[in-house]
Structure 1
Amino acid sequence: MQISRPVRPALLSLAILAATAWSGAAAAAAPLIPPQGYSAPIEKMKTGDHNFSCAAIPQPYTGALVFRSKYEGSDKARATLNEAAEKAFRNATQDITDLERGVSKVVMQYMRDGRPEQLDCALNILTTWARAGALESQEFNHTGKSMRKWALGSMSAAYLRLKFSDSRPLANHQQQAQEIEAWFSKLGDLVISDWSNLPLEKINNHSYWAAWSVMATAVATNRRDLFDWAVKEFRVAANQVSPEGFLPNEMKRRQRALAYHNYALPPLAMVASFARANGVDLRQENNAALQRLAQRVLEGVRDPDEFADRGGEKQDMTDLKKDPKFAWLEPYCSLYTCDAQVLEEKHEKQPFKTFRLGGDLTRVYDPNHDRDNQ
């Protein structure tokens, strides 16, 4: 009879370390992927529809990314809207916003209908902007670099639906896909440059949205360095969440503190969801900071008094009455077990469609949702 000998602790530790290192290296070598819902096939295949026409492609924006802020003239809380400045901002950035909304809308239509002309429309919009070198200006202000990261996140997130669908819609469009991804990759580097090395008191929801933009781009272009940067930024954000679930830099927004806490959640929930799909679990960072933040926001929406007491002003609830502002519930409830009350609130607000996160998140995260009531 063969007698097995006990493994010495030192040898066991070495074996564990070697196995851990190997699994980590294997994960790093694996292609980056989005959460499972992005592999959904096109729901229907149609050869044509006379009711679809591709809207005119917005003029590629190649100028300086210098725009007025809608809070121009506000105090340091940056919470008082300047209507004249907002109008100037909307006019100056119209083509960029039309790009974001247009790509998201057409990709959603294509994933629903599968019409070749819809796919051609989406790819032509993106390649036109890519070939123009749009949004690449090195001349920018805070509002300008904010627009760059928002636009990149919107485009990359919509593009993921095409790249990873089991229907393989890009199989016969490799040249355009390469041009688009090369452009995304360049913009990803610029966004990292824009939002790196900020002092902690300057890191707020903008940095979180930059992390989401870079995460979506990392997966779209299979760049592990972009992925790592997004994860690093998430960890910075998680460590800003107080034990009570507040974000100090968002509390500075006074009457809009609760709204901005809610606005911080979509990019953080999406980054955590994408990280988990690639073997990086961020749910327990800083004692489950993301969960703590989400619970604080949901409690605040039901009763904003604590935010009012802490911030010194009654909370502006205008944005919090808009269902798409809670699109973060889709990725969040895939990360944590949402209780019955939260699930009921989520179902009441579905479907969640928001172009800044790539379109219809309910189709990605809750595909069994009853669409007959839409």
Structure 2
Amino acid sequence: MKIAAFCGLAASLLATPLYAAGLVPPAGYYAAVQVRDKAPRACPQVPQPYTGKLVFRSKYEGSGKARATLNRESEKAFRNKTAPITTLERGVTKQVSYYMREGQPEQLECALNWLETWARADALLSEEYNHTGKSVRKWALGSLSAAYLRLKFSTSQPLAPYPERTAAIEAWLIEMAELSVRDWSDLPLKKVNNHSYWAAWSVMATAVATNRRDLFDWSVAQVRLGASQVDDDGYLPNELKRSQRALAYHNYSLPPLMMTAAFARANGVDLRAENAGALERLAERVLDGAAEPDAFARKTGEKQDMEDLGKHNKFAWLVPYCTLYDCSAQTRERKREMQPFNNFRLGGDVSRIFEPSAPNDS
């Protein structure tokens, strides 16, 4: 990792608040740290940094081109091998959320210690990977950068005393982002799907956290490409290929698309008009499908698997969506009933970030 060179530059930059110039997140990320009279929460042991090959089994192993039939054995193997990575994602997001809500310095120290330990170990940077492995890398990048953003841009400036630690963390995030750009660039259109959208979100979160305009531009280009794929009826052709999981994967595509579009708009790039309002068309198609999935069943020839559609956090995209668009009263009510949204792949307290007055789970 090129930490040493980055440290000198970052130390000088951190002498003044970075949120004063350059790339910025939506307004909610500037929230001050709350201070509440609560006992410090214990900091769990840092999970062992994952420095091995990013070669993992797919949970859909052996399911054919649709990649829609869950393989329980391979899913278990995948979850066991990636457990330290998922523990890192969830743990950092949780400690940052606790810190933003309660203001205990022990929680900030915990989150920074976890991030710095993995950064200095060059974790998740292996050049040996398969499709599932590069997917895991970009998911982790999005979770970590999104949580880190809340610390970086808070008006409380909690990172100001830690220039060397944050320099190491940011250098590591940048390396993962650059690898993700390489991993997910120049794909044939038939292979551009939800993975590309999640890569866009992960790179966008890192771009804003580290003020990297080139990464920002790449992320915006991926969302434009995604929007170009939405057909006149609001379907994503490459997600329709997922057979009985087509609706679920349309819904799964929306969190990264809406988060990335919200970040783009905060920086003067409005993606709402792309392909004649494609992102809104996609969102409305999914909302209609969640209420009545027959249209997706007719499109795919398969009854839709609705398990994921019953999980409220799968609809966390509604929060940025309703800041980008004039949501109907019905959609606002649906969002209200589902809140609070807490999705670690989006940095945690999505409701709190975008709607400070929304219910929360603290």
| TM-score bracket relative to the smaller structure | over 0.9
Decide which structure has the larger Cα Rg and report it: 1
Shift of 1:49: 2.0
Match of 1:20 in 2: none
**Mapped pair 1:128 → 2:117:** yes
Residue 8 (structure 1) aligns with: none
Shift of 1:45: 5.1
Match of 1:37 in 2: 28
Deviation at 1:331, TM superposition (A): 0.4
Equivalent residue for 2:185, pick from 196, 206, 231: 196
Amino acid at match of 1:44: V
**CA distance, structure 2, for counterparts of residue 153 and residue 357 of structure 1:** 7
Structure 1 partner of 2:12 = none
The Cα of 1:95 is off from its aligned counterpart by: 0.3
Distance between the aligned counterparts of 1:369 and 1:186, measured in 2?
35
Hey, what does 1:97 align to over in structure 2? 86
- Say whether 1:248 aligns with 2:241: no
Q: State how far apart, in whole Å, the 1-side matches of 2:175 and 2:225 are.
A: 24
1:367 corresponds to: 356
Query: Are 2:281 and 1:281 aligned?
Result: no
| Number of matched pairs | 343
- Which of 158, 163, 184 does residue 173 from structure 2 map onto? 184
Displacement of 1:287 in angstroms is 0.5
User: What residue in structure 2 maps to residue 49 of structure 1?
Assistant: 39
1:65-121 Cα offsets, whole Å, 9 max, x none, are 000000000010000000000000000000000000000000000000000000000
2:214 is the counterpart of 1:225: yes
Aligned to 2:229, the other structure's residue is in SS state coil
Over 2 Å off, 4+ runs: none
Q: Which amino acid aligns with 1:225?
A: D
2:15 maps to: none
Residue matched to 2:225:
236
Counterpart for residue 76 of structure 2 = 87
Paired amino acid for 1:126? L
State yes or no: 1:314 paired with 2:303: yes
Cα offset for 1:370?
A: 3.7
Q: Normalising by structure 1, what TM-score?
A: 0.90
Aligned mate of 1:154, from 143, 155, 166: 143
Per the TM alignment, residue 30 of structure 1 is displaced from its structure 2 partner at its CA by: 4.9
Kindly provide the CA deviation profile for residues 178-217 of structure 1, in whole angstroms up to 9, marking residues without a partner as x.
1100110111100001000100000000000000000000
Deviation at 1:247, TM superposition (A): 0.1
Q: Name the counterpart of 1:71.
A: 60
Q: What TM-score do the two structures reach when normalised by structure 2? A: 0.93
Query: What is the match of residue 4 of structure 2?
Result: none
Structure 1 residues not aligned, in runs of 5+: 1-28
Match of 1:11 in 2: none
Tell me if the contact between 2:339 and 2:359 (Cα under 8 Å) persists in the aligned partners.
Answer: no
The percent of aligned pairs where both chains have the same amino acid is 65
SS in structure 1 at match of 2:45: coil
User: 1:65 corresponds to which letter in structure 2?
Assistant: L
The residue matched to 1:338 in structure 2 has which SS? coil
Q: Could you tell me which of 141, 144, 160 is aligned with 2:130?
A: 141
Decide which of 325, 335, 344 is 1:336's aligned counterpart: 325
> What RMSD over aligned residues (CA atoms) do the two structures have, in Å?
1.2
The DSSP-based 3-state class of the residue aligned with 1:239 is helix
3-state DSSP of counterpart to 1:146:
helix
State the Cα deviation string for residues 128-176 of structure 1 (Å, max 9, x = none). 0000000000000000000000000000000000000011100111111
